């Protein structure tokens, strides 16, 4: 089973350097080009998605739709076109930044020059009407719900279906999602592809993340049972697993849908090969909000000129 954790294309809020979590920020023209390149890259690499799961926010949906549009046409035995729909899920939405939504990164500085989320929130919480950011625990619950209701069932069907899944979401929640998926896997079951090791060197699999616009993490999930230990003894892997679960209990334990016997090979981290050579359109056009209507008007004008 192949899974791609994908961040959306560039947005208006990204360009403006403001916090945009629950805000439904539009893709820029450059962001649409990024997503288009991504879809073309997958198609050229023979990646055929069976499932496309997306945050319900427009920037993620648009990115997912452009990936889907680039997929080659597939027909079933009756010659009907078969292609995955983009399933929109609120569980994949970005962290809600509360009162910081739409606020410049630079504006979040207290009078005493405190920096960082912790010190600044301590100051801001005293302001009337302040709305706090979504908590880590809330994001973990959403990530767990997504895994339990959508991704884990597909993993368990892997032998029969061999699914290829695109998960299009946002930077913060994707990092949370990866950690929650990792917590379901046996200790020592996550490995890095040699190309990843060559490119990045030693990487802590617990902290994989850092998604650029349309950057993606690619993984292969396969069933690989752990060695059976002799009754009354504990293998080093079993000991590590017990230690890991004990550590997780101090955070938020996984109580269901553990993926015992499954392993993950991480094949790409924040891959951006599809963006090589892509340049932003000048004159502010690249950073402007993308308008589908304008694109259709431009195509109509060009067609009329050709007809004349």
More confident residue, 39 or 162: 39
- Does the pLDDT at position 54 exceed 70? yes
User: Does residue 75 carry a pLDDT above 60?
Assistant: yes
- The domains located in the chain, with CATH, are 2-97+134-307 (3.40.50.1240)
Q: What is the mean pLDDT of residues 167-187?
A: 96
Given a cut of 80, is residue 241 above it in pLDDT?
Answer: no
Q: Which residues are annotated as a binding site for substrate?
A: 7-14, 59
- The pLDDT-based confidence of 115 (bands split at 50, 70, 90) is very low
The model's confidence at residue 4, banded by pLDDT at 50, 70 and 90, is very high
The DSSP code for 100 is G
Q: How far apart are CA 51 and CA 295, in angstroms?
A: 28
- Give yes or no for residue 143 having a pLDDT over 90: yes
User: pLDDT tens-digit profile of 259-304?
Assistant: 889 999 999 999 999 999 999 999 999 999 999 877 544 554 455 5
- Say whether pLDDT at 116 is over 50: no
In this predicted structure, the answer to whether residue 37 has a pLDDT above a threshold of 70 is: yes
Q: In which residue are the tokens 């993308």 written? A: 290
- Round to whole Å and give the CA distance between 220 and 223: 10
* Residues making up the binding site: 7-14, 59
Q: What pLDDT shows up at residue 247?
A: 40
Lowest mean pLDDT of 10-14, 41-45, 92-96, 157-161, name the range. Answer: 157-161
Q: Grade residue 117 by pLDDT with cuts at 50, 70 and 90.
A: low
The yes-or-no verdict on residue 227 having pLDDT over 70 is: no
- Whose structure tokens read 């892509």? 278
Contact 68, 61 (CB under 8 A): no
> How many degrees, rounded to 5, is the angle at CA 150 between CA 220 and CA 1?
20
Q: Which two structure tokens, joined as six digits, stand for 114?
A: 């405190």
Helix (H) or strand (E) holding 12: helix 12-16
pLDDT at position 102 over 60 = yes
The residue-averaged pLDDT of 198-217 equals: 89
Indicate if the pLDDT at residue 12 is higher than 90: yes
The secondary structure of 242-279, three-state, reads HHHHHHHHCCCCCCCCCCCCEEEEEEEEEECHHHCCCC
**Residue 155 vs residue 82, higher pLDDT:** 155
Would you state the pLDDT for residue 129? 87
Whether the pLDDT of residue 307 is over 60: the answer is: no
């Amino acid at each position: 089973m192949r899974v791609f954790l994908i961040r959306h294309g560039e947005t208006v809020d990204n360009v403006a350097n403001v916090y945009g979590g629950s805000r439904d920020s539009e893709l820029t023209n450059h962001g649409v080009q990024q997503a288009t390149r991504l879809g073309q890259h997958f198609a050229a690499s023979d990646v055929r998605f069976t499932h496309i799961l997306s945050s319900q926010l427009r920037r993620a949906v648009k990115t997912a739709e452009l990936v889907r549009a680039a997929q080659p046409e597939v027909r079933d035995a009756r010659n009907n076109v078969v292609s995955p729909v983009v399933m929109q899920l609120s569980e994949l939405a970005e962290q809600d930044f509360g009162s910081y939504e739409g606020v410049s990164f630079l504006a979040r500085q207290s009078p005493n020059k405190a920096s960082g989320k912790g010190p600044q929130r301590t100051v801001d919480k005293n302001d009337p009407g302040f709305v706090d950011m979504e908590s880590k625990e809330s994001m973990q619950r959403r990530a767990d719900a997504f895994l339990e209701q959508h991704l884990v069932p597909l993993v368990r069907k892997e032998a029969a279906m061999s699914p290829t899944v695109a998960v299009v979401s946002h930077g913060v929640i994707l990092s949370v999602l990866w950690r929650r998926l990792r917590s379901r896997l046996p200790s020592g079951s996550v490995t890095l592809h040699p190309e990843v090791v060559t490119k990045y060197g030693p990487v802590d699999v617990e902290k994989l993340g850092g998604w650029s616009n349309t950057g993606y993490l690619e993984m292969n999930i396969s069933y690989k049972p752990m060695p059976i230990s002799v009754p009354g003894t504990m293998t080093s892997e079993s000991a590590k697993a017990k230690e890991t679960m004990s550590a997780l209990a101090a955070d938020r334990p996984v109580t269901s849908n553990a993926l015992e016997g499954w392993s993950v090979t991480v094949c790409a981290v924040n891959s951006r090969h599809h963006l090589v050579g892509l340049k932003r359109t000048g004159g502010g056009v690249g950073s402007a909000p993308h308008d589908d209507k304008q694109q259709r008007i431009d195509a109509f004008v060009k067609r009329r000129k050709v007809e004349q």
